[in-house]
Amino acid sequence: MSAAAASASNAGASNAGGNVEIDEDLQSRQLAVYGREAMMRLAKSKVLITGMDGLGAEIAKNVILANVGSVTLHDTAEVAIADLGAHFYLKEEDVGKNRAEACLGELQELNPSVMTVASQRDLEPKFLAEFQIVVCVSTPLAEACRINEYCRSARPPIAFVYTSAYGLAGAAFSDFGPDFPVFDWSGEAKKSAIVAKISQANPAVVTCVFDKNDPHSRHDLAEGEVVEFAEVKGMTELNGNAYTVKEVINPWMFSIEVDTTGFGEYFDGGLVTEKRMPRFIPFRSLRETLHSPGEFLVSDWGKWGRPALLHLALQALDAYRTEHGGAYPAPGDAAAGDAVVAAATELNAAKLADLDAEAARLEAQSKALGAALDAMDAAALGLDVEGSPEAAAGLSAARTEVEAQLKAVRDRQGAMGWERIDEVDEATLRSVASGSSAVLNAMAAFLGGLVGQEVVKAGTSKYMPLNQWYHFDALESLPAEAVDPASLAPRGSRYDAMTAVYGAELVEKIRNLKYFLVGSGALGCEYLKNFALTGVGTGPDGEVIVTDDDVIERSNLSRQFLFRNWHVKKSKSLSASEAAMAMNPEFKVKALQERVSPDTENIFNDAFWSSLSGVCNALDNIKARLYVDERCVFYGKSLLESGTLGPKCNTQVVVPHLTENYGASRDPPEREAPQCTIHNFPHTIEHCLVWAKSEFTGLFETSPAEAQKVLDLGSVDAYVETMQASGAGIGDILNNLRGDETWGGGVTDMLNDVPASYDDCVKWARHKWQIYASNMIRLLIHVFPEDMLTSEGGRFWTAPKRFPTPLEFDLADDMTFQFLRAASLLRASTFGINKPASVTRETIAAALASYSEPAFDPAALGDVKIESDPNAEAGAAEGTDDDISTVVAAIAPIPEVKAKTTTLYPEVFEKDDDTNHHIAFIQALGCLRARAYAIAEVDMLKAKLLAGNIIPAIATATAMAAGCCMFELVKLAQGLPVDAYRNSFFNLGVMAFSAADPMPPAKITSRQETIKPDPENYPDYEEERDIIAFPDPHTAWDAVVIDIGAAGTVADVLAYFDSHNLSVMSIAVNGGLIYRAGASGDAVKGNVFVDHVAEKVGADASRGFVVIEPLCEGADMQEIEFPPLVLVKVSDGYALSRTATTSMGKPVDA
């Protein structure tokens, strides 16, 4: 080990000791996924990974980023040139070195908190006993079985994972012992509901508050699940106790296994929450499951029977390796393929014989057990079960035991079908054997994510482990025509693994691709690594362009693995590109720091998009994804799309004309809580934090920004005139000027109360505390007293509403102090006031020594309207011009304000900087509000996750998604038919995997539709509407191209439509009207089209075309539906890679 490596190893020892601390700033996204308790367990886990090829490196990367206690990298093999195709921490100068030692230093740098060492020791029991988790990578099966048997025999058992990547196939297996506990099998938020009623019955029926318009308000419970109750009034016996759900009656009612007839009568309130009970998983050994694997985890149902075949192939290849000194078949070696087929056939014949014998034995057992069960009848046995509880219990226990035995037999009978292969698919076996010597980057990334997550499960007991085998292949990515064996031969190159599978010609094609990667965060880092290793952009004509306008934050380091501590605050795209080029010096990548948006279309222009081979999105927001997707449709480019959410990931491949585009199908937007709930009737901590964040924005961002505009303009009147000129309404102007009508704020607060010192900021914060924690509540319960009735005579304060209690000011309270500290420091920042080096309770107390809070009487406010209707829409304040004048008159003269301050400093919300006090303010205010409503408060981390809308993210799911997309990239490079592509979804939490053919693009055809012209006033009146699709059919990928040349006129454009019997009503360009049928339209027909659009709407025709928006009707006044893109070609400078044909191949005259 080098001195640097040894130093890094010593520095990383913190997790391995007895005291474990989780760095919340660094690990915030993982904490959002696993929780603190699970991560504490993980940080004590010692992991051994034996086999440091590309797959081993991927596993090590993901496990180290997950923050385990220690990782030992074990290998006795030396680096070969082919390893560089999948192993991102090996270089050409490492060839001949030990693989574990060669990559140790780089892996240590990933996470200094994890002790990472290399070893070449024999894998004997004494060594294995040092670990809690052992991972065997491509280990010969006999050796893997030996290690597994020792791990099972250990007390407690050592979790064992086996995996292997062999060409376009791979496998993973888990065995965590005979009785492994899973404390949280799904990781999803616990199901919960607000109680509306509980019956006095046996079983008791629970009715929950249910909003039929909100699918999230369902209780979503299932029979057999366990629930806990809290805050129930009246029937208090339920509180703090757990009960089993007996029956789900409907989405808002269920019964529980308890007799409540003797309980108190339900009065009000109550929360019911799922109690997740531990599950104990019985794992079988590797040796046993090699012979009888049982039911496989299947991801691609289009490959029925493939897992069983790959299970056979894995063993046949192992037999081949045993006979050939550990070597896999050479690429394209027909004789080796024959040998693998022969071995598989022999294994399968023996397996069929065993299955037939087992089937006969199980059938006999099934019949015997069934007969025994039938005989267990009380009358037949002469048992008095009515009069003898002991006899009844004994008979029930005996039946239960026999039923369990019978179920086990029938389960095994069902599983046997998964294992049976009546006829071996020799062609598939030969394809697998031919490429089996290669460890592909894509396969290593995919399996590395899967296996890395299995290690985390073993260390945390969170999420459902793999049960027990998973086989995966991407054989559909092979070239459609057989590859010449000579093309598969090694070249002594880092791309030899790719060559061994796909052939030299396709490898060169991939190397000369020009790809655009949008984003270089977690997904972007994975893609850059994969591109570099696979060779994308390394050829003479190849290039990868990556853009990202973001900089690196410390919280990124736990999953964006190309970054280190010294990269913090540097450009993501530049830093990631440099790291990727270090992995492959031939990698040509150009890093940009521009956001891809309408504002940068001068940079990402026609020539740019048209030059691309394809686009890969690595974005974390829907708006940006949709824009890139729209650009890909416009320019006819393929798109690789992927996303992650905690342990879930999904991928989508978009192929021009063959598949739907990303924006074609979207999830419905999240339903937001009503404004009255957020502002006055919160019942969850989320409601409180949303409100607190809104207050933060108003106090420290919006109000200072608007006040600065007033200062810059020199008068409030000028500010009002500017807003009116921009189209702002009276309500919007009043909101900005005075803030809340009752509680104030806005520009008035900023300019009428300019602080002269930090003490003034503390006094301002103290008054804000009084408003938020006391006065607002006092006014609310004055308007809506606790005994208030609704217009129907029912109680107003019923679930989900919670009756609040005003808080009493107490500086000794931690949350109160945190609020005052954060609020006063933020106020000082917005005014540029000097702040103390440290703010303590004594600092605050001293500033408030002479402060007296004004008295508050809610009755003195008169008739104040507080919205209580959840269906009321939020809107601007109501008012008149006179109200504006009144507010303006009350604002201090601007010259007087400028004598105190001329510059304000708005605070732009940033969740990941704990020194800016943003989250501290939001947490404190949100928790104070929660306290007033008797809602459970949350810690700083939880507040950050919720208020910052932080997406839970882990490296494992990211690696899987990027690995999947690399297989799709290879398919795109070949232009394979649509049935070769796969969209995928993987939930590593519950092991729900799915891969399916992409959806074809929707065809727009001519049709007749029934519409309701005026559903509000005439809901029963309907009309038939005829719609003509032009062209018929067409899809989103199609375009209408009208070629008129540079001298073409408006009349030439109209003539095109006229030739297709379409009457033009109007034509718009960039939203501006350039033609309307009638006298005004006749007057412009002779105008040169490019001059006319330039004059009317300032449109630039230098691109060689103008996109138009025609409104037409047919000969019988039918509505015309065009493709998204209708353009007029005006010069040979036209550079779009679009044609004037539909995806159906029918020409559209141009």
Active-site residue numbers? Answer: 676
Assess contact for 218 and 191: CB atoms under 8 A: no
For helices 918-932 and 814-831, give the axis angle rounded to 10 degrees: 140
Q: 779 is written with which tokens?
A: 């006014």
As a whole number of angstroms, the distance between CA 640 and CA 472 comes to 20
As a whole number of angstroms, the distance between CA 595 and CA 518 comes to 9
As a whole number of angstroms, the distance between CA 335 and CA 344 comes to 14
682, 738, 866, 870 from 873: Cα distances, Å:
17, 21, 13, 8
Return all residues near 765 (Cβ < 8 A) that are at least 6 apart: 819, 820, 823, 824, 827
Q: 1067 is written with which tokens?
A: 């034509």
Assess contact for 1127 and 1039: CB atoms under 8 A: yes
As a whole number of angstroms, the distance between CA 780 and CA 691 comes to 16
Closest CA to 1077 of 1087, 1063, 1088: 1063
Return all residues near 1053 (Cβ < 8 A) that are at least 6 apart: 1042, 1044, 1067, 1089, 1108, 1128
Say how many residues make up the chain. 1150
Q: 224 is written with which tokens?
A: 């057999």
3-state DSSP helix/strand/coil % of the chain, to nearest 5 = 45, 15, 40
Assess contact for 62 and 83: CB atoms under 8 A: no
Strand bridging mode 253-256 / 242-250: antiparallel
At 184, phi and psi to the nearest 5? Answer: -140, 95
As a whole number of angstroms, the distance between CA 1057 and CA 1049 comes to 14
- Residue burial 107-135, b: 16+ Cβ < 10 Å; e: rest: bbbbbbbbbbbbbeeebeeeebeebbbbb
At 189, phi and psi to the nearest 5? Answer: -60, 140
As a whole number of angstroms, the distance between CA 543 and CA 982 comes to 25
Angle, CA of 80, 84 and 89, to the nearest 5°:
110
Closest CA to 167 of 474, 425, 490: 474
As a whole number of angstroms, the distance between CA 37 and CA 22 comes to 10
Return all residues near 459 (Cβ < 8 A) that are at least 6 apart: 41, 42, 44, 45, 47, 68, 132, 133, 159
H or E element at residue 955? helix 955-974
Angle, CA of 216, 220 and 221, to the nearest 5°:
155
Assess contact for 539 and 554: CB atoms under 8 A: no
3-state SS, residue 651: strand
- DSSP code string of 438-472: ---HHHHHHHHHHHHHHHHHHHH-BSPPP-SEEEE
As a whole number of angstroms, the distance between CA 616 and CA 537 comes to 13
303, 305, 318, 320, 332 from 436: Cα distances, Å:
19, 20, 11, 11, 10
Helical segments of 771-873, H only: 776-783, 814-831, 841-847
